[in-house]
Structure 1
Amino acid sequence: MSNQDDRNDLDNLVPDLGWKKLAALGAVTLIGGLLAFLNPFAASLAAEAVAGAAFLVAGGMQLWHGVTDTTKSTGDRWITSLLGAVFVLFAISLILNPLAGLVTLTLLVAIFFTVIGALRVALAWQLRPDTGWGWIMTSGGLSLVLAALIVLSLPEGALGLLGLFLGIDLTAAGVVSLALAWQKKTQG
């Protein structure tokens, strides 16, 4: 692959912000990640508030769609509206009781890791003895261990766990943005 092909691939992945704006975005994201590490409880509450707002908007849109979509049958509209109402009620519960919302969201993360881990273990078992199946099995096992650790840390662990995950994500995104900015600067 030529250097020009590498540049085209990079241009497709990165918005055309120019290296300076991309570096600024990376620095702000990295600082946000580091701040999340310094106060994981506050970062957890922020993540929970964003999740609550997202569920509220999604539920409102679902309700609106259920009420106004005349192309669907009455049963479909009722189900759509019911789903929207569930989203809105979940959002309200997150917003009105943030500590309970942290526990709920952390439990959902544990369920996510359990499902992902189980699927990876099953995939690895199917791929066995092909090359690399052990790595997939290890990844699945680690996801299952992480899920167990999350569940065992509840409810106290919920107070900072989402903030730590947010910190990891923001820090990684910031580092990647800075690396892409550096690459754009050196190529252009």
Structure 2
Amino acid sequence: MKELDTITVGLAQMQQQMLDYMQTHWRLFLFEGLFFILLGFCAFIVPQFFSVFIVIFLGWIIIIGGVTQLSRVFLLPKTSGFGSWLGLGILQLVVGFLLIADPIAGVLTLTMMMALFFVVEGTIKIYMALQMRPLPQWEYVLFSGITAVVLALVMVAFWSDIPHWLLGVFLGVNMIMLGVAMVKMGLMHKAT
């Protein structure tokens, strides 16, 4: 029984700290939420561009990582594991090039990765919402988490038939849901 009391007191303290933090930084939540809503609408309005842009951007990041790794390997050829580092650098260059060369195929691969991301993100949001439960507006975080999990399930269920622009739509919906939750929390905890 004493352990249950300790857990209850600890949970109450954590919730009070969360409430204090939200009241102190309500503007941050508000502006971050508005930014996510703006990004979400951009992704939603031009989903095909957004999907292809994400893949090309990721391709360039991977290429830059590969070039960086290969530069280090050739500058320090006596490094332990030279062959492994060289192989990883070449792999990064090849994968990055393939993403840039055929972004539509990259979108399908990225769609599956985003489905996994949405499941993890949604689960974390649901967990956070349940921790915030007595605080005002916790339901919006819960709804945002459930939305992310549902989007992931739809993506997995129809993966082979998903048009390449749908990733941008789903990403936009997810960002808008997160943004609305953050705006609501920011406005609710506005210092009075």
- TM over 0.5, shorter chain: yes
1:63 pairs with 2:70 = yes
Per the alignment, residue 172 of structure 2 pairs with: 167
> What residue is the counterpart of 1:149 in the other structure?
158
In structure 1, stretches of 5+ residues that fail to align are 117-139
> Retained in 1: the 8 A contact 2:114–2:152?
no
Query: Shift in Å at residue 27 of structure 1?
Result: 0.9
> Percent identity between the aligned chains?
26
- 2:112, 2:155 within 8 Å by CA — same for their partners in 1? no
Within-5 A mapping of 1:1-188: 5-9=14-18, 18-68=25-75, 72-73=79-80, 76-106=81-111, 146-151=155-160, 153=161, 157-186=162-191
Query: What one-letter code is carried by the residue in structure 1 that aligns with 2:182?
Result: S
Report the alpha carbon displacement of residue 181 of structure 1 after superposing the two structures with TM: 1.8
The worse-fitting range, judged by mean Cα deviation, of 55-64 and 77-86 is 55-64
SS in 2 for 1:56: helix
> What is the TM-score normalised by the length of structure 2?
0.59
Separation in structure 1 between the aligned mates of residue 65 and residue 111 of structure 2, nearest angstrom: 20
Residue aligned with 1:159, SS: coil
Structure 1's 43 and 145: CA in aligned 2 closer, same or farther, altered over 3 A? Answer: closer
Structure-1-length-normalised TM-score: 0.60
1:120-141 CA deviation, whole Å, 9 max, x = no partner?
xxxxxxxxxxxxxxxxxxxx9x
Change over 3 Å in CA distance of 1:49–1:5 after alignment to 2: same
Q: CA deviation at 1:183?
A: 4.2
* Ranges in structure 2 where 5+ consecutive residues have no aligned partner: 1-8, 121-148
Are the equivalent residues in 1 in contact too, given 2:111–2:155 (CA < 8 A)?
no
SS at structure 2 position matched to 1:185: coil
Q: In the TM superposition, what whole-angstrom CA distance separates every residue of 1:18-64 from its partner, at most 9, and x where no partner exists?
A: 43343122112112212322322122112212321332233233334
